[in-house]
Amino acid sequence: MVLGSPYMDKLGAERVLAHCMGRPWSADSDGETKENVLPPGWQKLDGLLAEGELKRVVIVRPALLSDGECRAGDPKKKQAGVQVGEEESGYTVSRRDTAHFIVEGALKNWDRWEGKGVCLVYH
């Protein structure tokens, strides 16, 4: 797998987030993290929130980040804009479009996105 290391890091972050949110995690369906990403006993690391302590969350899962322009704020470019959903079906999205979604989408429509994992990708 070409993107193996970044994927493992992302999986490790998701695993920690699930723990802090109190969500169940199954290595079979959610994925297994490697010890070089999350060592044994990571749940007891100093400074880590207790299991279930994190209550109000939106998980933003951008595809591979690029330094491109923001398409979401430009009506002429919306046709080739950002796909927002719970399934990834592309490869990249810009950092600017990710920030745009957080400010204009998630924060302004918190009730719609709270507790969900949102994938951002160009279509």
Interval 43-93: pLDDT, tens: 999 999 999 999 999 989 888 889 988 888 776 665 455 667 666 667 888
CA angle 89, 93, 98 (to 5 degrees): 115
Interval 4-54: pLDDT, tens: 666 788 889 989 999 999 989 988 888 888 888 899 999 999 999 999 999
Which neighbouring-strand residues pair with 61?
A: 119
CA angle 24, 112, 114 (to 5 degrees): 35
d(CA 58, CA 113): 6
Please state whether the predicted TM-score (pTM) of the whole model is above 0.75.
no
d(CA 80, CA 122): 7
